């Protein structure tokens, strides 16, 4: 039997239901092709982290979700239900999987001493103690309760906080709430630049 590519496909299709002209059953092969790697993944609806179009995405996650187990993102794609992007993504959005699980993501707080030419690893406890200590020191050293004209101003001019346009609204709000309560005026983020 002279089998061109075309007749092979025809024969294969005809054989989908049982024995094909080829003499063997192709249905397990079809079934195997249809096993997507996201088959057992759990879907989470999220939003692309890049520009402000707000494309909806679906993160596919493997893992049981059990206590002390680690779940893994295995795939991210556009959310077809989202009216803004209708499932489409740009080159950045389409490659966000590599951003989500990058080996370049850091896991370790690091500290650089004055005049040092290298980082050293520190614990979170050290890091937050140091951060709070420095924050208080500079706040106390640069705090103005009354300005030169005797007016109540209650401000800290010695510390600046910048960012971020990349965090969620709720964290953005908490940043403003906390830093304004600390008395900071120098607060800004990417909108200006």
Partner 1 sequence: MASLAATFGRGAMTNHWKDIKNADVILVMGANPAENHPCGFKWALEARDNRGAKLVTIDPRFTRTSAVADKHLQIRPGSDIAMLGGFIKHILDNDLQHDDYVRAHTNASFIVTEDFGFADGLFAGFDEAAQSYDKTAWEYERGPDGFVRRDPTLEHPRSVFQLLKHHYDRYTPEVVANITGCSEEGFLGMADIICSTGRADRAGTIMYAVGWTMHTVGCQIIRTAAIMQLLLGNIGRPGGGINALRGHANVQGATDHAIVAGILPGYLKVPTPEQQSFEAHLTDSTPRPLVSDTVNYWGNYSKFYVSLMKAWFGDHATPENDFAYDHLAKPGGDATWLTIWNEAHQGRLEGFVALGFNPLLAGPDVPRLFEAMAKLKWKVVIDPFMLDSAEFWKAPGQNPAEIDTEVLYLPSSHWIERDGSFTNSGRWAQWKEKAVDPPIGVRSDTWILSELFWRVKELYQEEGGAYNDPIQHLTWDYLNPREPTLVELAKEINGYDRTSGQLLSSFGQLKDDGTTASGNWIYSGSYTEAGNQMARRGTADPTGLGMHHDWAWSWPLNRRVLYNRASADADGKPWDPQRAGIAWNGREWIGDVPDYGPTTPPDAAGAFIMNEEGVARLFSTHLADGPFSEHYEPVESPTTNPLHEQVPINPVIRWYDGVRDTLAMSAGSEFPYACTVYRVVEREHFVTSNVPYLVEAMPDFFVEVPEGLAEEKGIANASRVRVWSKRGSVTGTAIVTKRIQPLRVNGKVVWTVGIPVHWGFVGLTTGSMANQLTPFVGDANTRCPEFKSFLVNLEQA
Among 5, 6, 66, 113, binds partner 1 (CB under 8 A): 113
Positions in 24-43 near partner 1 (CB under 8 A) = none
Nearer to partner 1 (CB atom), residue 21 or residue 174: 174
Interface region with partner 1, contact rule CB under 8 A, candidates 1-9, 10-18, 24-32, 173-181: 173-181
Sorted by sequence, the CB contacts under 8 Å of residue 90 that are 6+ apart come out as 50, 55
3-class DSSP assignment, residue 33: helix
Does 133 engage in binding with partner 1 (CB under 8 A)?
A: yes
Sorted by sequence, the CB contacts under 8 Å of residue 52 that are 6+ apart come out as none
Positions in 140-169 near partner 1 (CB under 8 A) = 140-143, 145, 147, 149, 151-169
Nearer to partner 1 (CB atom), residue 15 or residue 78: 78
Smallest distance from the beta carbon of 184 to partner 1, in angstroms?
Answer: 7
Does 54 engage in binding with partner 1 (CB under 8 A)?
A: yes
* Dihedral (Cα; 129, 130, 136, 139), 10-degree rounding: -150
Residue 186 and residue 157 in contact, taking contact as beta carbons nearer than 8 Å: yes
Sorted by sequence, the CB contacts under 8 Å of residue 155 that are 6+ apart come out as 143, 144, 183, 184, 185
Interface region with partner 1, contact rule CB under 8 A, candidates 2-10, 13-21, 25-33, 87-95: 87-95
Smallest distance from the beta carbon of 78 to partner 1, in angstroms?
Answer: 8
* Dihedral (Cα; 25, 28, 34, 39), 10-degree rounding: 170
Smallest distance from the beta carbon of 34 to partner 1, in angstroms?
Answer: 25
CA–CA dist 144, 185 (Å, integer): 12
């Amino acid at each position: 039997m002279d089998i061109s590519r075309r007749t092979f496909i025809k024969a294969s299709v005809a054989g989908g239901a049982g024995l094909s002209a080829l003499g063997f059953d192709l249905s397990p092969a079809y079934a195997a092709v249809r096993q997507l790697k996201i088959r057992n993944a759990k879907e989470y609806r999220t939003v692309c982290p890049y520009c402000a179009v707000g494309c909806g995405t679906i993160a596919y996650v493997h893992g049981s979700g059990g206590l002390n187990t680690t779940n893994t993102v295995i795939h991210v794609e556009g959310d077809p239900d989202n009216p803004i992007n209708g499932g489409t993504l740009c080159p950045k959005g389409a490659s966000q999987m590599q951003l989500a699980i990058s080996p370049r993501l850091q896991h370790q707080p690091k500290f650089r001493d004055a005049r040092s030419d290298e980082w050293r690893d520190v614990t979170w406890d050290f890091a937050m103690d140091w951060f709070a200590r420095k924050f208080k020191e500079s706040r106390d050293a640069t705090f103005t309760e009354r300005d030169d004209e005797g007016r109540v101003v209650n401000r800290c001019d010695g510390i600046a906080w910048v960012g971020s346009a990349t965090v969620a609204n709720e964290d953005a709000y908490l940043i403003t709430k906390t830093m304004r309560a600390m008395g900071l005026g120098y607060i800004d983020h990417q909108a200006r630049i």
